[in-house]
Amino acid sequence: MSDTAIGSHAIPSPAPIPVREIAPWLVFGLLMLLALYFVGAEEGATSIIPGMYVHEWVHDSRHLLGFPCH
């Protein structure tokens, strides 16, 4: 026999995810967002670093990812 009553649907609660398992993915995501900023938007009015140094450094990446820069 079963200990549960007929018709009762006990929904198990999800197990918590430890922070040490999530932290590497959060760091990786933030680094990828930073890289996307430098490749895609580090130019003109939104520029953090003055000059065209970053633009020239990531120039081929911009074309590879489809960002216009000319």
Asked if residue 42 belongs to a domain, the reply is: yes
Asked if residue 61 belongs to a domain, the reply is: yes
pTM: 0.61
Helix (H, G, I), strand (E, B) or coil at 11: coil
Tell me which residue range forms the domain holding 40.
19-65
The owner of tokens 């633009």 is 55
Q: How many domains does the chain have?
A: 1
**Total Cβ atoms within 10 A of residue 59:** 15
Question: Which of 24, 68, 20 lies closest to 44 in space, CA to CA?
Answer: 68
In angstroms, the Cα distances linking 17 to 24, 35, 53 are: 13, 27, 41
Asked if residue 70 belongs to a domain, the reply is: no
pLDDT tens digits for range 17-61: 898 999 999 999 999 999 888 888 877 777 788 878 887 888 888
Q: Measure the CA–CA gap between 34 and 37, rounded to whole angstroms.
A: 5
